[in-house]
Structure 1
């Protein structure tokens, strides 16, 4: 005897809580992970709108801007909300991803239970979705918020559709449209929703009967009409994405539409294989765009054969063709050949919604097998639990690969050593670790893989500049500009930086102007141009640039002296060589500038690995002290730090005491406190470090 509805509902609620707890526990370690510099930097770390939270201007930007080729206002707003509530650290963004996926899995379970009445099958199907190893990328990668956020609205739309099927009304149908629209504003994959709802109308909702019978056609026409607004929404967002993503229209490398068609059918089997055997996972699977026509013919034949076989048995097993067609339809927009770029053949994240259909077909098929052969109940359930346990273990083992950029890209370069993005990304990961010499190898390899690409040689040149190998960087950049793109703004800006670092500001002006011709609002480049103009004696032109900046609302630069804090920031960000080159060049033309002398001396004295010896800090600090019209506590404080950096701790203490006495006379309590703190360090026999 079946339990009554309230009992079944209470049990379903407990199962929902169990599923949520398991999903949350499985992915919780990701809450402590860092950003991964693969889209996370562009989406969040370098996005001032996200980093300043839910301000009105930021909300306006989210709805009015196509950013990174996407119009996804709810995605950006969700990141802004994380910043507002949790701050700019990665924890909040990771936490939201985990919670969104957990809630999506719970809603999927509830939808399946509401539409089929089966608690245990719904639990197994939702668990297959929630813990499968291919979910790791969507949950642990902050930039894939698109999946978990759109998945939430997708499941809300499914539940709204169930209510619409139970008792149709304009309000309930409007809710389906609302959830779809919100989902599309999170990720355009929700264009798949209308045809999937038609599949659900066949099973499990049974709203129209078998479409193979002509008598059901009027009902199917009514269902199509019911979803006409959803189809219009889908078409609008398809058009929008074709507009913002030119790669879907452009045949790269001469690939014809017929060849693209030949890529589609084998790609479906690539996904099926990865879902069935989720080993050797990677964020990038290199594309193989040489069409193997015999393989394509076998692939399409097999897809058609499976589809016809399942359709033939639709009366006995309606869930089978529904689940299979769900997979085929939902994967369609991102299948290789329809989606076309030079980065990847397929992606774990693209299975987020398509895999639900396969899970439904698998679980309901297993349930029917148990019903037909009760003796198989124990082994089938045991096999299902073992499969879920294996997937959970595999997911947990995969999670640490997303801990931070270096672990992610180390795995990537091992998996795809000849892929452009793998070499470029791993080079950046090495740069972050300070392993610049090693990074050069991978940037050079990336430049070799894509001989027309301009970013790879720019990365290589940037690494050379970090190493102080400016002459090599200049030769490399001049060759890259000649062979790839003479007007490339990034290459021209780096060439200008290299000329500035070798003291040739006169040769830096032209490439800076070329770079700014393409990116006139790049503040960093404009400040470098102002510096170059000052260094070459073109002060009227420098002030003209400053007035131009002020006219655009930037008042941080009013004259030469305001360049000093700008290069202090460069130093603090790790670009010590470029900052030091500024101070060296500036001091050649302004040798008596107290601000330059004191700042340069302080930076050298308090850095654990300065680009010049501490004796140079002492020389600069003494010159500043001697040039000052009267003893100055700040200048003496710097000299004390410089002396301590050379190991002359006794004289450092003497000088610091002099600075302390002057600071007390000047009634500057903040400076007094700072000098006292440094004096305590000197007494311990240590230099002051910042």
Structure 2
């Protein structure tokens, strides 16, 4: 292989892949896990030894991927919540993975043409968009980085031959071989710390031995013992983390966890999507019962018959693969790479969510791409010029189509609305989560009629969708329809008696209705479900504060802060208690901590201004009202209060300017204050 050809191939792969994905850099966060892993969590907002230890000693939601959390924390340290930085990181990791794929296939096939095809297909295939354009799926691009690196290191170990340290045979001992063996183990560990799907690597290494004509015997398997030990350990960690998720979703997700039909359906699904990547979606319809052909809509009605006969199709393909062994190892190698790396997510080895998802194909597709690359190379070298031109034309057409589809798919991930619009367009009246997650976006934007419409559609699709009832309850609560909100929270709790958020929000409604006894009961229930539920402690504190039980209120606010040291509202509320108790220095400290965490938190600035006004420190009063105005430029109450502070500080000209601004905003100035300023002849 000429160095010039390799450099040209690599550059072309990187350029085409970057062009296909470049629009993803401009995308926003989405409310499909990004809110859980990045925008809505305080876990990544501190980068310290303590936080790093926490990453490695706790689950993130229900998953154990500490390196992913660490990467987010590093980005937050430098870029805060700038989504473009996170998207750029994902794309850079994907480009590096393309290089590693090229390198790996060069080592396996020793053909630049095969490496080029495999790496380019890996780079631009539309099924990989989810892993790259979705920030939360940093897991895929990161685990793949170390996974591929581990295989490459292992191949270098094979080339260095040998490492028989377990057996004590050192007659062919090679220190270089040892080095790459240990590199491989270390990189495998990093891959496991990024995503549990890496547990399949020991089997892939055995396949690598097979392809490299290394005898599969007792000694070969002994070399894999460290890899298998790591796989077992991380497999156990993953199963424990996913246990609660599995229990909560058993009826929806795992109905056919032992069904041959479901397994064959999923394998066929991935094969068809690889060849014909249409109607892609961030989530696909569930399987509900045998005979319910709704799952055929995953690809389109024109292909639905394929899934009905998926077991037969797979048996036929399996026979062909085994027949091919007589002629070449390459087809069975690629096929087993595809199948083995899919095992954790096709219900044979149930780990986490096991419904089909594009992201699960990030590494498995290498098997199919390898077969395609080898077949292309075989026909290209065997046949005449016309066939070569035809093959190149087909390859170029595939590259153009896939690159275009990938660019289009990146635009789907632009924001939450475009994401859920795409799901609903491809699978109308099929996926409840698409409607209630889009409804949440409309709710946040204040478009309550559209939010309610989406929640109602979600409930129509799935009458047991407690999240839809809960979110509709929030919308009713926001527009002060408390009775309707209570009905929805009641229904959510009826469906899921352990739904702590519904108890908490129902408590808020009772608080707003001044039914404090029921509010406290609901907050107690939420805390009973989750003793570390900081929001319930904070909200219970507001009830105790309302009934003037300040000791209990203070205790609850302190507990909320102990659980979540970034809880802005809890600091503000505790500051209010200190202010009531005339402990002004403590109150000021809490308010300042609140605005330190959230510089746009207006309530704390207002409370600081009130304290300083009562202390007759008018300059500081003005400063805090000015901060409110800088954030909310039409905040008439802040202008009015600042005018009073200016007046008390004898800055009459500035007081008048604020009054004039209030008049421009249509605010009615109290007569007494207007007359006072008129005495100084300053009011126009």
Alignment-derived partner of residue 438 in structure 1:
450
The aligned residue for residue 34 of structure 2 is 40
Superposed CA deviations along residues 41-70 of structure 1, whole A, max 9, x for unmatched, are 1111122231233x1111111110012111
Residue number in structure 2 paired with 1:167: 160
Matched, 1:264 2:271: no
Aligned to 1:664: none
Count of paired positions: 624
2: CA distance, partners of 1:120 / 1:38: 38
The CA deviation at 1:27 is 1.2
Q: CA deviation at 1:263?
A: 1.0
Secondary structure at 1:134 match in 2 = helix
Q: Give the alignment's TM-score, normalised by structure 2.
A: 0.79
Q: Distance in 1 between matches of 2:263 and 2:57?
A: 34
1:645-667 deviation per Cα after TM superposition (whole angstroms, max 9, x unaligned): 326799999899899x9xxxxxx
Pairing 1:239–2:236 present: yes
**Partner of residue 189, structure 2:** 181
Of stretches 125-134 and 411-420 in structure 1, the one that deviates more from structure 2 is 411-420
TM score, norm. by length of structure 1: 0.79
Structural RMSD (CA): 4.4
Matches of 1:186 and 1:231 in 2, distance apart? 17
Residues 516, 378 of structure 1: alpha-carbon distance in 2 compared, 3 angstrom cutoff: same
* Residues 1:419 and 2:431 aligned together: yes
Q: Which residue of structure 1 lines up, in the alignment, with residue 83 of structure 2?
A: 90
Q: Compared with structure 1, are the counterparts of its residues 383 and 174 closer, same or farther at alpha carbon in structure 2 (3 Å cutoff)?
A: same
CA distance in 1, matches of 2:10, 2:402: 19
Q: State the alpha-carbon separation in 1 of the partners of residues 557 and 78 from structure 2.
A: 37
Per the TM alignment, residue 620 of structure 1 is displaced from its structure 2 partner at its CA by 8.8
- Look up the SS of the partner of 1:264 in the other structure: helix
Q: Deviations over 1:569-596 (max 9, x none)?
A: 8xx99999xx8xx99xxx9xxxx9999x
The CA distance in 2 between the partners of 1:228 and 1:354, in whole Å, is: 23
In structure 1, C-alpha distance between the alignment counterparts of 2:288 and 2:339, rounded to whole Å: 21
Secondary structure of 2:227's partner? helix
Task: Pick the aligned partner of 1:191 from 185, 196, 199.
Answer: 199
- C-alpha distance in structure 1 between counterparts of 2:193 and 2:591, whole Å: 41
Q: Distance in 1 between matches of 2:639 and 2:396?
A: 73
- Residue 116 of structure 2 is aligned to residue 116 of structure 1: no
Ranges in structure 1 where 5+ consecutive residues have no aligned partner: 209-218, 662-678, 684-690
Shift of 1:527: 3.4
Cα 1:534–1:155, aligned 2, differ >3 Å: closer, same or farther?
Answer: closer
Assess if the C-alpha contact under 8 Å between 1:251 and 1:257 holds in 2.
Answer: no
Q: 1:649 to 1:381 in 2, by over 3 A?
A: farther
Alpha-carbon contact 1:465-1:498 (below 8 Å) kept = yes
State the shift of 1:145 in Å. 0.6
Give matches, 1:602-641, under 5 Å: none
1:49 is matched with 43
Work out whether 1:125 is the aligned partner of 2:125: no
Structure 1 residue 143 and structure 2 residue 136: aligned?
yes
Stretches of structure 2 lacking an aligned partner (at least 5 in a row): 162-176, 293-304, 580-586
- Assess, with a 3 A threshold, how the Cα gap between structure 1 residues 602 and 158 changes in structure 2: closer, same or farther: closer
Relative to structure 1, the CA distance from residue 407 to residue 96 in structure 2 (aligned partners, 3 Å threshold; closer, same or farther) is same
Equivalent of 2:208 in 200, 207, 212 = 200
| Corresponding residue of 1:324 | 335
Offset at residue 621 of structure 1 (A): 6.0
Report the counterpart of residue 468 of structure 1 in structure 2. 480
Task: Quickly say closer, same or farther: Cα 1:479–1:49, change in 2 above 3 A.
Answer: closer
Please report how far the alpha carbon of residue 258 of structure 1 lies from its aligned counterpart in structure 2 after TM superposition: 7.8
- CA distance 1:625–1:535, shift in 2 (3 Å): farther
Show the 5 A alignment for 1:602-681: 642-646=662-666
Cα 1:264–1:232 change in 2 (3 A) is same
Q: Pairwise mapping of residues 297-446 of structure 1 onto structure 2 (< 5 A)?
A: 298-336=309-347, 338-339=349-350, 345-375=355-385, 376-416=387-427, 417-446=429-458
Secondary structure at the aligned position of 2:280 is classed as coil
Looking at structure 2, the residues matched to 656 and 119 of structure 1 have their Cα atoms a distance apart, in angstroms, of: 86
Distance 1:641 1:652 in 2: 18
Structure 1 residue 17 and structure 2 residue 11: aligned? Answer: yes
Q: 2:257·2:350 contact (CA, 8 Å) conserved in 1?
A: no
Q: Deviations over 1:222-262 (max 9, x none)?
A: 32222222222222222222222226689537977785333
Which residue number corresponds to residue 172 of structure 2?
Answer: none
1:446 is paired with a residue whose SS is: helix
Q: Describe how 1:469-484 pairs up with structure 2 within 5 A.
A: 469-478=481-490, 480-481=492-493, 483-484=494-495
Q: Match of 2:521? A: 510
Three-state SS of the structure 1 residue aligned to 2:396 is helix
Query: Are the structure 2 counterparts of residues 484 and 637 from structure 1 closer, same or farther at C-alpha, using a change threshold of 3 Å?
Result: farther
Structure 2: how far apart are the matches of 1:92 and 1:491?
A: 35
Residue 157 (structure 1) aligns with: 150
Distance 2:625 2:312 in 1: 72
**Mapped partners of 1:656, 1:404: distance in 2:** 52
Quickly say closer, same or farther: Cα 1:475–1:604, change in 2 above 3 A. Answer: farther
Q: 1:625 touches 1:636 (CA, 8 Å); kept in 2?
A: no
